[in-house]
Structure 1
Amino acid sequence: MLEVGCGRGAFTGRLVRRAKRVVAIEPDHQSFVIAQQQLGSSVQLRNIECSELSSSECFDTVCAFEVLEHIEHDRAALEDWIEHLRPGGHLVLSVPADSKRLGDWDEMVGHYRRYDRKEMKNLLEGVGLRVVDISQYNFPAGYFLETARNLIARRTLRKGAADKNFAERTAGSGRLFQPESSFTAAVMRLVSLPAIALQRAFPDRGLGLIAIAQLD
């Protein structure tokens, strides 16, 4: 597996349980250092952009969680990513859903856009992938979090965060909700249990979008 934009490695540790080999890349040095401390030698971590990967490196699965919305030219990024995907391999993405909900929080953390299902389907098919599944998640917690986040972002932007460029906002966003300690991670998992149970009771709803596509 290749994970593009692993941040501090919060999700990468789960990928290790599902793949014989995981390569994770993270261009933000501060997040990369934390990921190294968290993951040790279980993952091949690299402080690079995807464009710096060798063209000979190919994977069965390429993942990018909450990354694509931070990239101005998303189609070009996808084309770059799938260059490292073997025929028959899968691309797995998560992005914020519902373009009409683009708000202060999105601006603060460096989102160029949010995605609708049809838009995501067209984007994936446009780069030569076959869509396997597109579904929504983060119900109902996402709606409460969005309200709180937008309030926080509105105040933060007034204090000067709007002066940062998109690259600076993106780098900062990768540090916001990924814990630095295993204790904090355990507490966050415990607090999330009720929301996870509700999500399972009401599938395919919420403010996040998960897309799975295959390279035939």
Structure 2
Amino acid sequence: MLRREKHQTESPILAPGIILQNLYVEERLKNHAPGRFIEIGIGRGHLSRMLLEMGWTGTGFDLGEQALEDAAQINKKYVDNGALELRQGNWLEYQDDEPADLVVSCMVLEHLEEAAETEYLHKARACMKPGGLGILLVPGSPAHWGAEDDVAGHLRRYTPELLRTRLESAGFTVNSIAGLTYPLSNLLLPLSDFLVRRSAAKFLDLSQVERTKLSGRRQIWGKTEFPLWTRMVLNKYALYPFHLLQKINRNKKNSLTLYAEFTK
């Protein structure tokens, strides 16, 4: 288990798409009693932090040591009190997980070759308690493949139909598939692509595995790093109208993020 003695910092400023995703997940989980979760690809730990603040406890996995250090820093209180355990390595290779009430990952499945994707889904099912819940957030709309996908080491973007097929083939009951972040992320996409392309060269020479390790903690000014004044607008209260819009538009085929909720 990874522990760090850094001081708990103020919640970092998140990109608008991440804020909208978290708002949706938080709303969907409000009617579920907190239990134990496993997050695969914890990255900087923002999603786990939200779960912990809702009363969940759990384990976060990531391939990258630096990502886990970031996650430990912003979740220091929960690491110190034992509510959050952090593990470095490939979750698919771990055999000792106790059953979880929730298995969740954000922007992970698209990094996996098809065989590993199948293995991931079967392992997720095996790790769930009977009646356990699974949540996936993945890139949507293959028509919007762009610089972000190349730089992050993505292998695919999903359609709702493909995602449903993969989940049902693994034996899950699909409760919901929704498109998220529309229209805000679509409006910001040209700016996002510009910012990513401007910094792309240093990532494209890396292997797909290395790009995957870095995908959750790339530092790109204006996309993942923001000046302090932006906290006035980049918060869940200011963006709540866009949360309502993403819910209204959840069936849009060109939504850039897909949310899947499923049970064992």
Distance in 2 (alpha carbons) for counterparts of 1:109 and 1:57: 31
- Note the residue ranges of structure 2 that are not aligned, 5 or more in a row: 1-36
Equivalent residue in structure 2 for 1:79, among 116, 119, 122:
122
1:61 aligns with 2:97: no
Matched position secondary structure for 2:129: strand
- Note the residue ranges of structure 1 that are not aligned, 5 or more in a row: none
1:30 aligns with 2:66: yes
Distance in 1 (alpha carbons) for counterparts of 2:174 and 2:66: 34
Q: Judging changes above 3 Å, is the alpha-carbon distance between structure 1 residues 9 and 59 closer, same or farther for their aligned structure 2 residues?
A: same
> How big is the shift at 1:208?
0.8
| 1:85 partner amino acid | M
> How big is the shift at 1:69?
1.0
Distance in 2 (alpha carbons) for counterparts of 1:133 and 1:196: 21
Contact 1:66 1:95 (C-alpha < 8 Å) held by counterparts? yes
Q: Deviations over 1:48-101 (max 9, x none)?
A: 221243345110110001111112232222122222111211110001111121
| 1:21 partner amino acid | T
- Map of 1:113-192 to 2, 5 A cutoff? 113-157=156-200, 159-176=201-218, 187=231, 190-191=234-235
Q: Deviations over 1:167-203 (max 9, x none)?
A: 11112221137979xx96x928745644431230352
TM-score, normalised via structure 2 length: 0.72
> Taking every aligned residue pair, what percent have the same amino acid on both sides?
27
Contact 1:55 1:83 (C-alpha < 8 Å) held by counterparts? no
| 2:95 partner amino acid | S
Contact 1:5 1:64 (C-alpha < 8 Å) held by counterparts? yes
Contact 1:65 1:93 (C-alpha < 8 Å) held by counterparts? yes
Q: Could you tell me which residue of structure 2 aligns to residue 208 of structure 1?
A: 257
TM-score, normalised via structure 1 length: 0.87
Distance in 2 (alpha carbons) for counterparts of 1:44 and 1:190: 28
| 1:141 partner amino acid | L
Larger CA deviation: 107-116 vs 12-21:
12-21
Distance in 1 (alpha carbons) for counterparts of 2:55 and 2:61: 16
Equivalent residue in structure 2 for 1:110, among 153, 162, 187:
153
Equivalent residue in structure 2 for 1:16, among 31, 52, 68:
52
1:48 aligns with 2:89: yes
Matched position secondary structure for 1:175: coil
Contact 2:92 2:119 (C-alpha < 8 Å) held by counterparts? no
